Structure formats: C-alpha cells, structure tokens
Amino acid sequence: MGVSFENDWLIGLVNSAPYFAAAVLGCWLSDPLNNYVGRRGTIFFATVFCFGSVIGAAFCQTWPQLFISRLLLGIGMGSKASTVPVYAAESAPSFFRGSFLCAWQFWVALGIFLGFSANLAVYQISDIGWRLQLGSAFIPAVPLLVLIWYAPESPRWYIKNKCYAAAYRSLKRLRNVEVQAARDFYYMHVQIEMEARVMAERGAPLENPHYRERTPVGRDLQKAGQYIRRFLQLFTIDRVRQATLAAHTVMIAQQMCGINIMAFYGASIFFTPESSTDYKSHDARTALLVSWGFGLVNFVFALPAVHRIDTLGRRTLLLVTFPGMALTLLGAAFCFKIPDGQSQLGAVTLFIFLFAAFYSPGEGPVPFTYCAEAFPLSHREVGMSFAVATNLFWAGILALVYPKMSSALTPTGALGLFAGLNVVAFVMIFLWVPETKQRTLEELNAIFEVPTRRHMRYQIMKTIPWLWRRYVLRKDADKEPLYVFNREKGEAQRDRASRREQL
C-alpha cells in the first residue's frame, strides 16, 4: 500500500522532517558524541541512523510511519553534517584544506545526482517504485560503516585530549613522511597551546575539563554545564562571536539562495505553468529527466571549486557567483510568463541549469568548509553544531512552506523573491565574511579577532575604492592589509634586520 498525502502542508511536513530533527537534536548530539567517542565514532553513530532510517522508510505503510523514519534520518544527518567537515579540516594541511573539504560538497552533489538517477530508473515500477526510491539511499551508508574505522582519528582531537602519542601516530598516516608529521605535530601543539592561553584568559579553557565529581550524576551535570557555557560563549567572546556571525551568514545564505527548492520540488517547479488549467501538462518521465539534468549540472560544476577554493578563496568564490545566481533565478522566474508550454519548459530549464552552474562552485562547497575552519578548537564542535542546525532548520522551513508559497505567489513571484534574497546575501557576505584561505586553523584567530565594525569599515572604505580603481579604471592600486599574522610579522622583522646589516 502506498503512502498518500492529503494536502500541500502534509507534503511539506514529511519533506521537512529530517531537517527539523537534525536542527533540534541531531546537530546538538555531535558535541557530546565528539567528546566521548571522537570524530570517527560520531560519524559511525550518524551512519547507523542514516542506514536504518531509509530501510524503515522503504517499508512504511502510512504517512506517520514515513514521518517518523525521516525524523530518525535527521538525527544521523545532523550529527554527520556537524562532524565530517570538522574532521576533514583538522586532518588536512592548510595549503589545500579547502580542496580537501570540497570533498564534502562533491559527494553531496554526487549523492543528489545518484538520487535523481535512482528516481528515474525505478519510477515506472508499479506499487514498489517509491519504496525503491526511498530505500536506495542505504547503499552509500554500507561502505562508510566499514571504512570509517580504517581512517585515522583527528590529530587535533587527540591533542585536545592530551593524547600526544596517538596524535603523532595519526599524523604519520596523514602525511607523506615522518618529518612532515613531526613538523606539523610540533606546529599544531605550539599553536594550540597559544590558543589555549588566550581562550583561558577569556574564561574558555581549550582542554576537556578534568571532572572532579566522583558520582556519575555529578560528572554529567558538570559536563552539561560546560556545554551550556561554551554555547553561550559563542555570543560573549569577541573572537568567537565574529566567527559565529560569519559562519551563520554563509549558512543562512545557502538557504536564501533557493537551491533547496530545486532539490525538494524540482519537478513541481519545472512543470507548474502559470496557468492552472495547464497544470502538470508534461509527463512524469520528462520531469524526472529535467531533474536528473539539474543533478548532473550540480555535480559537474562542483569540480571547479576543488581547484580554485584555495587559490581564489572562499569569500571570492561567493562574491563572484552570487550575482550570477540572482540573475539566472530572475530569468527563470520571468520565463514562466512564456505562453507556449514547450518553449516555457526549455527556457525555465536553461536558466535553472545556469543557476546550478553558478551555485555549485560557490555557495555549494563554501558554507560547510568555512564553518569547519572558523571556530577555535575550544568551541569547534558546539560552533559547528549551531551553524549546521541553523542551516538545516531553515532548509526545513523552506521545505515546509514552499508548496504554499508557490501557490500564493505563483512560480514567478516565488523565484523572483529568491532572486532578491540572493542580492541580500551578497551584501551580507561582503560586509561580514572574512577570507580564510591558506591559513592554519590556529592562524585564523588573527582574522576573527578583528571586530566586525572594523571589517565592515575596511570593506566599504578600502575594498570598494580599490576594486573601482583596479577593475573599472584599470589602474594599478595597492591596498593595505587588514590582518597581521605573527608568522608574517616575524618574517618582516627578519627582513628589516637583514637590510640593516647590509647597510
């Protein structure tokens, strides 16, 4: 027996269920799980939920059963999304950390594409086609359940927990030779100790507390108090608050751009003409083919980010791609005014594909990459949990309200609204999001120490005039740096000393 839905709100509720479950519970479980079982253990825990819930969804008989299955999926989804980027960021060298972290979005894009492929392959199978569509998601979870235990644990997690021998063994597996492992181990240790002293002065010690309570209840209460305190410090410590603002800006921008309405309701968007008399005039196979093409474009255009995110930078990729996303979404919105159904289909499809081509190298990989880097080690788990929970909560809101929004505003109005939100997101990123490329995770403290007001003033008073002179007037122009790093300060001092000796 198939699962039937009575109205748009019910469809939106079931679609949004995993996102709300992730935002309310799954993301927040990642912090205590990381403290207890490490990055690998948390990923294994999340994978178990992702594996079991989709199997359960395939055997559902009623929509409440499907709803519960998708809630369980959200628990795994939130824990995984909060941990995997952090695990990758802490394991990769700084000079190609962005490319390494792009693997997250690369595999997400591949998963979306394979999901559309599965939908296309089994949609004609009567009675159980939809069950196969839901259940096929268990396939990528199987190798992850096994392979995660062969991966090394994060060396920074070991250092945080004072397991120095284990951290060095982990680095030897992550680097080419032992000399590189020893160099990076010493560099990590020194910078983490410096970060720990700075954060301790502000009431946020880096290391896990050595709990003095002897009873299990006392230890649990003390750990809960530490967790709540670290969450509150996301807004009270200047360095952490700057990171929180920047991380949430890029996360919210991912939902503001409108990409998930394509992932959730692609076929409905492509095949809902303005005229209600011609509603869904195209066949289901064509709808699934167009959605499959959207998934393919999203996957293929994720590849350029792997090569450019560490050279152009995270901020630059966002600022370059958002205008294109706004224009293509606006073009798709007005194409719904084309009276001929076949011409309308072709025009809307073209602009939506162009939108995906702009999204995939920019707002696709950058948010999770950026959030995994932005927070100091003392607040990395709780900061990433909060950022991912915010992202997935608004994804759930979008999945819930878009069917009604499209009905009320028409597809032209709904897509036009998201085009305007792309412009708003561009301004937010320009003012609030600093660059993080090619810096170690500990060096980013110097970037996020800069107050937001100073960063905004620098972008308005320095960056805009520099861009005008450089790219409009085509003149040579210099711009004084906003950040000064200890390593560069030492190199500058050595250069000045060398020149004095030569004189």
Q: Are residues 246 and 432 in contact, defined by beta-carbon separation less than 8 angstroms? A: yes
CA distance 172 to 89: 17
Q: From residue 65, how far is each of 14, 46, 56, 57, 393 by CA, in Å?
A: 10, 20, 9, 7, 22
Q: From residue 355, how far is each of 360, 395, 401, 485 by CA, in Å?
A: 9, 18, 22, 37
CA distance 226 to 244: 18
Q: What is the pLDDT of residue 470?
A: 87
Task: Give φ, ψ of 125 to 5 degrees.
Answer: -75, 120
- Pick from 357, 352, 321: which is nearest to 335 by CA? 352
pLDDT in tens, the chain (503 residues): 445 445 667 777 888 889 999 999 999 999 889 988 999 999 999 999 999 999 998 898 888 889 999 999 999 999 999 999 999 989 888 778 888 888 777 888 888 888 888 878 877 777 777 788 788 888 888 888 888 989 999 999 999 888 999 999 999 999 888 998 999 899 888 888 887 777 777 666 554 443 344 445 445 555 666 778 889 999 999 999 999 999 999 999 999 998 888 777 766 666 554 443 343 444 667 777 888 888 899 899 988 888 889 889 999 999 999 999 999 999 999 998 888 777 888 888 899 999 999 999 999 999 999 999 999 888 888 999 999 999 999 988 887 888 788 878 888 898 999 999 999 999 999 999 999 988 888 788 889 999 999 999 999 999 999 999 988 888 887 888 888 775 555 444 445 445 555 54
Q: Where are the domains of the chain?
A: 8-157+232-432, 158-231, 450-502
Over the stretch 461-475, which tens digit does the pLDDT of each residue have?
A: 999 999 999 888 888
CA distance 433 to 494: 32
Q: What is the pLDDT of residue 407?
A: 79
What kind and span of H or E run contains 57? helix 27-58
Give me 239's structure tokens.
């360095």
For helices 238-256 and 216-236, what crossing angle results, to 10°? Answer: 80
Q: What is the pLDDT of residue 258?
A: 87
Q: Are residues 412 and 275 in contact, defined by beta-carbon separation less than 8 angstroms? A: no
Q: What is the pLDDT of residue 490?
A: 47
Give me 140's structure tokens.
């990528």
Q: Are residues 440 and 187 in contact, defined by beta-carbon separation less than 8 angstroms? A: yes
CATH code that applies to domain 8-157+232-432: 1.20.1250.20
Q: What is the pLDDT of residue 501?
A: 53
Q: What is the pLDDT of residue 456?
A: 95
